Amino acid sequence: MSPLAALRRMREIAGTPLLAASFLARLPVSMSLIGVLTLVTTQSGSVAAGGLVSGALALGEMVGGPVIARLADRRGQRPVVLTASLVDAALIGVLVTAVFAGASTPTLAVLAILAGLAMPQIGPLARARWISIAGRSPHDRERSVAAALSVDGVLDETGFVVGPALVGLLALAADPAMSVLGAAVLMGVFGSVFALHPTALPGAPPQSDGGRVGGLGLFVLALPMACQGMFFGSTSTGVTAYSQQIGHGDLSGLLYAVMGVSSAAAGLLMASVPARVALTLRLRAASLGLGLFSLLLFVAPDLWTLLAAMFLLGSAIGPHVVTIFALVERSAPATRLAQAMTIMLSALILGQSLGSAVAGDLAERYGHHGAFALTTGAAFAAFAVAVLVVRSRWYIAGDRSPAPADA
């Protein structure tokens, strides 16, 4: 299936309005973390305080996301996502108010944790919805699911590029607070649109899957996903350190965006891979590509060479992430699919937080090559898991006849 065919198939599956709503409702995840960091740092004058509050928000997301997803699997997406979206929008507003009221850093951290706990992870919830809708097609289900996951991966990649860019534009044009409040508005409005759409998945009785989240095959996938997150965190830190070293700190966003563009394009192309190519083989090939291409970061003598290296890195990232989610789709019970997808996102967030923290210290000690060393290590760790741990027998395509969505 060509990229254009994948896009057409996805449009048939979801429809343009719902695709747009699911994309805009994802932006608060990336916008809020960077926006809160910028806002608290600007108002308090302390980068440490900004980092602490932003980290608290990420911690809340990591813990709350799977809980919200599990409630959505059990009670239905419509009531759970609608409530969470509106509550989260209100809590983000409270956090901004507390910042301008001069609240203490511990108070802000508590409010940030609460806001993170209430933030629904729209990406995993959307993936569960796309898979359910694609599964109703009596013809070529596997290719429909592949198209849905590929296009959805593009939405995620684009969101992680557009979100930080919006934060920068709003902070420059108005005030850092506008970026955080903008995230609250997007979550409240488009999170509600996503929740209320007729395709919202209904709940399923807890006894229908025996209480299982997904077995060994699912939990093993959290390891390469955490490595992918560490890869993201260390790469962004290394690129920032390199940009500052050459006296153009403002170029770090451009360098990272180049990687995001190629990652989105490569992820979309995954729908063209023949079904006979096993998902586990794709996982190994993509993770090996991550490791090999990351070596180019150490031999990039100038900005243009680094740009080329980042572009090549992106060509492995998209396939790696899309393949992991495709494996999740095969290993998790249909009644807990949203929860399983969200667990993967939590693993990614955890890895990214750890990667940023460790790479920051390495960059301080050894320069940008120190951060890139962690990038390479994370990539080859993902490859080791894919080769030594992941087994094809855990991911056998089966019948997933979903319950119809409420009209």
Tell me, yes or no, if the two domains 1-203 and 209-398 fold the same way: yes
- CATH architecture observed for domain 209-398: Up-down Bundle (1.20)
Q: Count CB neighbours of 275 within 10 A.
A: 11
What does CATH list as the number for 1-203? Answer: 1.20.1250.20
Q: Where are the domains of the chain?
A: 1-203, 209-398
- Global pTM reads 0.76
User: What tens-digit pLDDT sequence spans the chain (407 residues)?
Assistant: 556 666 777 777 778 888 889 999 998 987 887 788 778 878 887 767 877 887 788 888 888 988 998 899 889 999 999 999 999 999 999 999 999 999 999 999 999 999 999 999 898 898 888 888 876 665 566 777 777 777 777 787 677 667 766 776 777 777 888 989 999 999 999 999 999 999 888 877 665 544 455 578 888 999 999 999 899 888 877 887 787 777 765 566 677 778 878 887 888 788 788 878 899 999 999 999 999 999 999 987 788 888 899 899 989 998 999 899 889 888 877 777 788 888 888 888 888 878 877 887 888 788 889 989 999 999 999 999 999 999 888 887 654 444 444 43
* Helix, coil or strand: residue 103: coil
Q: According to the 3-state scheme, what is the secondary structure of 176-241? A: HHHHHHHHHHHHHHHHHHHHHCCCCCCCCCHHHHCCCCCHHHHHHHHHHHHHHHHHHHHHHHHHHH
